[in-house]
Structure 1
């Protein structure tokens, strides 16, 4: 499957944002994002059912600075910066997010809000920032 099947319109930065996908969609979407010249990172959330684990996994995969504060504000700040990961744009894939959604619904919703805010901030700088959260449903 190519990105056209997802009808994302990769050529329009205003389409960047947060999307729910299935785990099986990560491979084809990752390829499309790489083809579009974006930095692609996949963060495995299997077994992640709390905020602390979520933040630790994101920080590790995105190589956050040691000064990362481990809270929502720090996550927001870090996702809006990413100066240590120079790129023309970003595509983050969060696989197996069902455990987080089921185990910490409020944190899951906050996480989605942080991703959306980061995408909006990058769009204002004319840099695409896509986040794909893979769920079974």
Structure 2
């Protein structure tokens, strides 16, 4: 197993990072590590509603999803319909705002931080890569 796939299994290192490798290297490492990859293209995101909708689609949310921040937080801290040894969220075409106003960007980043911390408490890595 290569270094990246080993690192993806390391709960202590999991977090949010700027992607430091080629996409094909990440795809291969995620597959080798046995993680589930959620990939989102932020190029067309304009606002909170579109961001939440695209996130929901990427993680294949269940029917109960409420299309709001609380539902997104709950969903990312469950993922029982996507069993895996770890999770990788790849956010492509990030311009530093996730396509949202500052307040909404801050809320999304707070949810991401809480999600990473939750999965660490479950001894599962949750990675977020921006590119």
TM-score category of the 2 structures, normalised to the smaller one: 0.7 to 0.9
For the residues of structure 1 that align with 2:7 and 2:121, how far apart are their CA atoms?
A: 18
Partner SS state of residue 81, structure 1: coil
For the residues of structure 2 that align with 1:68 and 1:88, how far apart are their CA atoms?
A: 23
**Counterpart selection for 2:39 from 15, 18, 42:** 42
- Is the counterpart of residue 121 in structure 1 residue 118 in structure 2? yes
Gaps of 5+ in 1: none
Give the number of aligned pairs. 129
Q: TM-score, normalised by structure 2?
A: 0.85
Name the counterpart of 1:26: 23
Q: Structure 1 70/132 Cα, relative in aligned 2: closer, same or farther at 3 Å?
A: same
Name the counterpart of 1:75: 72
For the residues of structure 2 that align with 1:44 and 1:32, how far apart are their CA atoms?
A: 20
Gaps of 5+ in 2: none
**Counterpart selection for 1:106 from 87, 103, 109:** 103
More deviation, 10-19/93-102: 93-102
**Counterpart selection for 1:131 from 78, 103, 128:** 128
CA root-mean-square deviation: 2.2
Structure 1 residue 98 displacement after superposition: 1.5
Q: TM-score, normalised by structure 1?
A: 0.82
